[in-house]
Structure 1
Amino acid sequence: LFGNADRAVIGALQLATVGLLVWVGARAGLQHGWYLATAVAAGLFGYQQWLIRDRGRDGCFRAFGNNVWVGFALFAGAGADFAIVGIAIR
């Protein structure tokens, strides 16, 4: 779909995702747990870029499967944030 620009487009979307996660955390009043999870997600996105560096089938599939860990990190970060700060309507 994007030809040789596929990695750049994926990277731009991943960067936008991290930016939106930071924005959501700020708007929701989340704290350290969320931002640590967002940093972990950003690191995993970097790892995914490394996996798809040669555009091989196996690397791309591994990067796709790695997104489970992005979701887990964000879930754990949100849970940790609420456990530490407490669930409150902000």
Structure 2
Amino acid sequence: MNKILLLVAGALVALGVVAFVLQPGPPDGECVPDGQPSSGYVDEESGCNISIESFEEIMDHESSPKWFRIAGLLLVVAGVVTAVAAFVVGRRRAGDPGPPAP
């Protein structure tokens, strides 16, 4: 049982790390032609002005909760708690003398 708990703990931690890494990034900025209304911000990669709608999408993404990261953190914490429980159960069973003799 102790080994099963350790395997479960390892799986939870691994899934948590994967979920944390798989968090999608912000949407790409949409460039506007020169002379058109823009947000006033420039895309660093392409060097062009970003549209107002595109900037709003990027800001919505930056200010919204990151669900994959939250789930990943919870899975890692659950994995660590399961590992601690496995060690505690293993220690108690190692020191358990068993049922009393009749």
Structure with more helix by fraction: 1
Q: Which has the higher contact order (CA 8 A, sep 6+)?
A: 2
Bin for the TM-score computed over the shorter chain: 0.3 to 0.5
Rg (Cα) greater in structure: 2
TM normalised by structure 1 equals 0.42
- For normalisation by structure 2, the TM-score amounts to 0.39
